[in-house]
A and B are shown apart, each in its own frame.
Chain A
Amino acid sequence: MSAATPQPYRSELRPGRDGFAQLLHAEWTKFRTVRGWVFGLVAAAVVTVAVGLLGPAGSSFECSGPNGQPCGDHTPPVGPGGEAVSDRFSFVHQPLSGDGSITAEVTSLTGDDAPGVEPWAKAGIILKESTKQGSAYAAMMVTGEHGVRLQHNFTGDTAGPPGAVSPGSPRWLRLTRSGDTFTGSESTDGTKWNVVGTVTLPGLPSTVEGGLFTASPEHVVTTQSFGGAGSEGGSTSATATFDNVGLQGSWPRSAWTGDEVGGQPGGLGQAAGFQQPGGRFTVSGSGDIVPAVAGRGSTSKTIENGLVGVFAGLIAVIVVAALFITAEYRRGLIRTTLAASPRRGRVLAAKAVVLGAVTFVTGLIAAAVSIPLVGALERAKGLNVFPVSALTELRVVAGAAALLAVSAILAMAVGTMVRRSHGAVTLVIVAVVLPYVLAVASVLPTAASQWLLRFTPAAGFAIMQSMPEYSQVLADYTPADGYFPLTPWAGFAVLCGYAVLALGVATFLLRRRDA
């Protein structure tokens, strides 16, 4: 037809910017323009909150005191660090002003009940802000099975020499105050002293209550059966004998008073556990001076109990995330995408960023709504919620959101690998949720449960654990009690590792395969 070749076409469109931002813009437009996906995320947020509310709805607190009277305030006291604590012990004390030191020789610590002394039964000397529960303190003590310890403010714990005490091998303890600094020392003979440690209790008033104490925690027996393990326990008491009790420095000796901190008012009677025949003290006590521990036996709720709906939201998010890529494969749209953006690794990265961002925001909103809402409902029903620091709460809320985001990226990466929605959805739900189900609600022994939460993507749920594990508190730190074998960030890193690995394989396959 036309013989002469016309001039090649020159577009008059302004050249656009080149960069990752455009890819993000394109993927974001892709995501927001499919109503089903947006609806899926809204549904994820709604079920997260709704399922979360099931917990308090299905919980109740009933308490009756002796003779059928309603029991009083059951909210646990709060320690100086803001954490819930258990603070109950027998205390033989007198007010002490300014600097000085207190010394005592512990000659025996025995359990008053059948199984013998509890491993964490405690007896020793303590300097405490007041006899009010939860007040600050520093204490030097001997324990049932954990040797000499210097403890302070419930969470602080420094180990001294091991070994139990007996009349044949007594242990001398000394606690010295110098301003805000407290030094704990121990000795086997009262002459050669070794410093166990030094702690600082800032803001402690000049006058504190100091003296001798004894405590013995509850005895815990765990039985495991299907449908979760059950804990049984009972209170125990211990008796300690002190000799050579002395006050040095500016502390004059005045009269000793016996009290049960956290117990019925009226003080310790001579029979109840405080005897002072000839300078020798015998103190019997029950209870413990420790941070409170969550678990199945606890009547208090953790904040992550209110986030149980995250598991439901997670499933919805996994479905949406898998579809975000597999829908392109199903329709052949992936070719359009890759023809428009031939740098395939960047396409996958853009998808991951968009998906991560939208699911993070979804999770953040859902978690930030769930925790106060569930907490309010729990308090309305008379349940107590363990207080946690603002930083911990932030970590739990943002962690729940990040959990959704990383799981979504994992699902998207697996979807890229298998190119089918059904395979991707099943694989990721089974990999992330099933190990958790098996760990908290099956016949598996604790060791196997912990293995699952250490090595499978379900390890990531650790990011929502708000209550730390204390080595100085004997309790069931099992997955079913809400304790993960890995620290929150380490567990989350395991999940991230899986996501990164999957994303790497997906990028490799996407680059190598024909579209």
Chain B
Amino acid sequence: MILRDVLHAEWTKLRTLVGTGWLLVAVVVLTTGLSVAAAAATECRGTGCGLDAAKVSLTGITVGQAVVVILAVLTVSGEYGTGMVHVTFAAMPRRATVLAAKALVVSGLVVVAGTVAVLTSVLAGRFILPGNGFTVAHGYRALSLADGPVLRAAAGSVLYLVLIGLLSLGVAAAVRDAAAAIGVVLGLLYLFPIVITVVGDPDWYRRLRQIAPMNAGLSVQATVDLGSLPLSPWAGLGVLTVWAAGGMLAGGLVLRLRDA
């Protein structure tokens, strides 16, 4: 059994699931929606207002990722829920290969939906932000992907979503139950930023921001004041990659070791 066949099978399964299309649409709509709202609500009142235009217009990623979590979790948990996993593993006994195929298919879909979501968000920011004081006079050029840092923020956001998808996939393979898996992943993402607010020690504060998957991963969106970040944008995405790899590894091990 070669990866290509498994890939084809997994693609067909996901493609023919009714919810998949809607989830992808939801990624785009929710991400763009929150980004537009954030851009409309943020105002730069003068030079040195310190706001990050790229980051503001990509705020929607924080909600779009929740939909990516559902999409990824369901590709695994959906099968456990219905018992179809027995059919899958009977047809394709190499479980690690199945997980890899699922990862590729999910990543592909997330890249497509994520790219659309990020492009519409940046485009919205480009049109909305100048009206809110993000003007040349205040030191802001209109958002453009020709700008190196903006391009990095945009492409990094798409990669961020892909990594969130992989992390979710791994957790789902380890936990199996959809609700529990979603709880674990959203907990990892949303709890760190809250806990960080009550940590007073500067070292802890810095360290937590370095290891928190959402804080570290989203540092790839930063385009101003990079010196104040606890770690560089790409290093941040690297931290999230470690999280995703850890999740996938745990999921793969559980798949191998536990009875289906």
Contact = CB atoms under 8 A, between A and B. Distances in A.
A322 interface: yes
Interface residues of B, number: 49
B228 A225 contact: yes
Contact of A445 (B42, B69, B197, B201): B42
Interface in A288-343: 299, 301, 305, 308, 311-312, 315-316, 318-319, 322-323, 326, 330
Contacts of A440: 193-194, 197
A422 B74 contact: yes
A434 B52 CA distance: 20
Contacts of B199: 54-55, 58-59
Nearest to A227: B209
Contacts of B201: 58-60
Contact of B179 (A60, A425, A442): A425
Nearest to B41: A448
Size band of the interface chain A makes with B? 35 or more
Interface centre among B67, B81, B199 (most CB of A within 10 A): B199
A430 interface: yes
A515 interface: no
Contacts of B182: 319, 422, 425-426, 429
Contact of B205 (A58, A61, A308, A318): A58
Contacts, number: 150
Interface in A428-479: 429-430, 433-434, 436-438, 440-445, 447-448, 451
What's the dominant secondary structure at chain A's contact region? Answer: helix
A58 B42 contact: no
Given A319-B183, A422-B178, A429 B190 contact: yes
B200 A308 contact: no
B204 A58 contact: yes
A424 B182 CA distance: 10
A163 interface: no
B186 A315 contact: yes
Interface string B145-187: 0000000000000000000000000000000011110110011
Interface of A: 51, 54-55, 57-61, 223-228, 299, 301, 305, 308, 311-312, 315-316, 318-319, 322-323, 326, 330, 383, 421-426, 429-430, 433-434, 436-438, 440-445, 447-448, 451, 480
15 contacts: A59-B204, A225-B228, A226-B55, A227-B228, A228-B197, A311-B191, A322-B179, A323-B177, A422-B182, A426-B70, A441-B193, A441-B194, A441-B197, A443-B56, A443-B59
